[in-house]
């Protein structure tokens, strides 16, 4: 199984009950043999341009582990899912993540040595 990153833009009218559309997305992932490794709520943000008549969307970021055939199935389903304005599903850049973690650790070490 490979790691992927999924960013979902949810309709702003669903902000009061975010759990309903997120449950649909999580179920879609698990039904296709994947699992959610990490989730982050990025909150409601203004879009750079209107998407489906909306100026705002609620952003949700997920790190996933999926089998080879799952990304296509998930993409096809998210295209027609109510409540999902837009999504981006990409293969995770593991080298980039490792470099970011290393840079962050190096920055923390430099701060503690200055004190």
Mean pLDDT split into 10-residue runs, the chain, 115 residues: 93 89 92 93 94 93 92 92 92 85 81 62
pLDDT value for 113: 61
- Number of domains, the chain: 1
pTM for the full model?
Answer: 0.81
User: Which of 16, 76, 10 minimizes the C-alpha distance to 47?
Assistant: 10
User: Quick one: pLDDT at residue 15?
Assistant: 86
d(CA 9, CA 22): 11
Identify the CATH number of the domain in which residue 12 sits.
Answer: 3.30.70.60
pLDDT value at residue 31: 94
What is the structure's pLDDT at 47?
94
Q: Is 66 helix (H, G, I), strand (E, B) or coil?
A: strand
Residue 29: give the domain boundaries: 2-114
């Amino acid at each position: 199984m490979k790691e992927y990153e999924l960013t979902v833009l949810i309709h702003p009218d669903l902000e009061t009950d975010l759990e309903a559309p997120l449950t649909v997305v999580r179920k879609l992932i698990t039904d296709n043999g994947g699992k959610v490794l990490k989730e982050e709520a990025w909150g409601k943000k203004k879009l750079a341009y209107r998407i489906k008549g909306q100026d705002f969307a609620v952003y949700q970021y997920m790190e996933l582990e999926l089998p080879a055939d799952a990304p296509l199935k998930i993409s096809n389903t998210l295209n027609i899912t109510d409540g999902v304005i837009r999504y981006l599903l990409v293969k995770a850049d593991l080298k980039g993540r490792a470099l970011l973690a290393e840079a962050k650790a190096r920055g923390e070490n430099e701060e503690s040595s200055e004190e």
